[in-house]
């Protein structure tokens, strides 16, 4: 046996373990009768799934069938530390949906033809609010965030030996980290709603496509040199790539090819380049996407980094109304989103991952050129 590799000392792993250990505690049943939707949810997931509960959404009752926990690591690190999340496959009011539970609230994402309907329940609020995907954060909170501007997406104390050593050896499959940096000009939309709208459904689908990979989604905001980067010009993707690479070197991110890899995404409030809502390196590790794009924009650009192509995208007619798979480049507002990749693009991504992960050593920088795609 070779000497054990130093495991990546990323704080989220540790916190995820802590979170799962705390699960039953968080779902404490010490309240004789819980009236809050979030508490009722936590009580339900402490029992064996599936569970059915009824949540009030302010317009009447809604049945929620909590089917299973999605095996994806989700983290919203903050200036105050790590904020872990968990995702569940659910049926909400009779429709298949994804539910994301984090902090004091939960978000239910229901895919619609051209929309992603999100219903949110807050621990401190009565009922839910709906149709306010871009509900601004409180001014006080934003101000506090800016005052203590986060210099690092991963807190420094995650790097000491104790923390790293306490992380269990990676006994199972390799980790693929989808790391999403929220540009400063997106702060009027909460990161939880960005996740619920653009990412939740997609990463659940990625888990289906790459069932043996361990997938992480990490959101970072207010990171100097990254989330305040200038963009909107032709060189945006190159500039973003340079900034991330510099950050990765400075922070000594534990990049272990074949075991622990990253795909970095910058999410922006405006077009990433003139007339362009997303950019990526084909088969590369860097991408950017505008929240002004379709709800499939993150899936589209991350798909490119896994070598998915426009040529293999398709329009489907099976559901009575045409829909576009994630990589369709010539989009039409008359067509819905399928919220799926084409079978051909799924094959491309699986093949890319298989090649990528079975060749543990390759020249760095890679000797195959990356091509920029929209």
Residue 220 or 326 with smaller CB distance to Zn ion: 326
Tell the smallest beta-carbon distance from residue 322 to Zn ion (Å).
19
Residue 133 or 293 with smaller CB distance to Zn ion: 293
Tell the smallest beta-carbon distance from residue 214 to Zn ion (Å).
26
Q: Nearest 5 degrees, angle CA 235-CA 241-CA 242?
A: 90
Tell the smallest beta-carbon distance from residue 332 to Zn ion (Å).
15
Residue 122 or 374 with smaller CB distance to Zn ion: 374
Report whether 53 contacts 44 (CB < 8 A). yes
Q: Distance between CA atoms of 338 and 318, rounded to whole angstroms?
A: 10
Tell the smallest beta-carbon distance from residue 344 to Zn ion (Å).
15
Tell the smallest beta-carbon distance from residue 79 to Zn ion (Å).
34
Residue 330 or 358 with smaller CB distance to Zn ion: 330
Looking up tokens 């299973």 gives 68
Q: Distance between CA atoms of 282 and 259, rounded to whole angstroms?
A: 21
Report whether 301 contacts 288 (CB < 8 A). yes
Q: Distance between CA atoms of 37 and 122, rounded to whole angstroms?
A: 8
Residue 101 or 328 with smaller CB distance to Zn ion: 328
Residue 164 or 327 with smaller CB distance to Zn ion: 327
Stretch of 18-26, 173-181, 259-267, 365-373 contacting Zn ion, by CB under 5 A: 365-373
Stretch of 17-25, 143-151, 179-187, 366-374 contacting Zn ion, by CB under 5 A: 366-374
Contact mark string toward Zn ion, 315..354, x via CB under 5 A: ----------------------------------------
Q: Peptide bond before 50: cis, by omega within 30 degrees of 0?
A: yes
Alpha carbon dihedral 270, 111, 134, 236, in 10-degree steps, equals -20
Non-local CB neighbours of 368 within 8 Å, separated by 6+ positions: 283
Alpha carbon dihedral 320, 325, 330, 334, in 10-degree steps, equals 30
Residues 130-149 touching Zn ion, rule: CB under 5 A, are: none
Tell the smallest beta-carbon distance from residue 374 to Zn ion (Å).
5
Size of the site for Zn ion (CB under 5 A): 2
Q: Which residues bind Zn ion (CB under 5 A)?
A: 373-374
């Amino acid at each position: 046996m070779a000497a054990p590799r130093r495991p990546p000392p990323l704080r989220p792993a540790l916190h995820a373990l802590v979170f799962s250990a705390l699960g039953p505690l968080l779902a404490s049943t010490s309240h004789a009768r819980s009236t809050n939707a979030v508490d009722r949810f936590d009580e339900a997931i402490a029992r064996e799934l599936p569970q059915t509960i009824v949540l009030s959404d302010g317009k009447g009752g809604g049945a929620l069938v909590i089917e299973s926990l999605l095996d994806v690591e989700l983290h919203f690190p903050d200036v105050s530390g790590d904020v872990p999340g968990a995702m569940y496959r659910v049926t909400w009011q009779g429709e298949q949906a994804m539910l994301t539970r984090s902090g004091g609230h939960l978000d239910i994402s229901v895919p619609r033809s051209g929309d992603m309907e999100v219903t949110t329940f807050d621990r401190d609020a009565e009922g839910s609010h709906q149709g306010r995907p871009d509900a601004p954060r409180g001014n006080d909170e934003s101000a506090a965030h800016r005052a203590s501007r986060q210099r690092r997406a991963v807190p420094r104390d995650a790097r000491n030996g104790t923390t790293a050593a306490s992380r269990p050896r990676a006994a199972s499959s390799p980790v693929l980290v989808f790391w999403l940096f929220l540009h400063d000009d997106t702060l009027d939309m909460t990161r939880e709603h960005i996740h619920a709208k653009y990412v939740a459904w997609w990463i659940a689908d990625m888990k289906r496509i790459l069932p043996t990979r361990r997938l992480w989604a990490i959101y970072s905001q207010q990171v100097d040199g990254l989330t305040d980067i200038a963009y909107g010009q032709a060189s945006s993707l190159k500039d973003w790539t340079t900034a991330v690479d510099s950050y990765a070197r400075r922070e000594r991110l534990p990049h272990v090819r074949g075991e622990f890899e990253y795909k970095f995404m910058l999410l922006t409030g405006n077009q990433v380049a003139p007339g362009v809502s997303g950019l990526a390196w084909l088969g590369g590790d860097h991408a950017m996407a505008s929240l002004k794009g379709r709800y499939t924009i993150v899936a589209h650009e991350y798909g490119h980094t896994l070598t998915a192509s426009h040529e293999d995208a398709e329009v489907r007619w099976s559901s009575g109304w045409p829909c576009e798979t994630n990589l369709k480049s010539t989009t039409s507002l008359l067509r819905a989103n399928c919220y799926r990749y084409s079978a051909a693009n799924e094959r491309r991504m699986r093949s890319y991952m298989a090649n990528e992960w079975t060749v543990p050593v390759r020249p760095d920088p890679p000797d195959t050129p990356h091509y920029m795609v929209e």
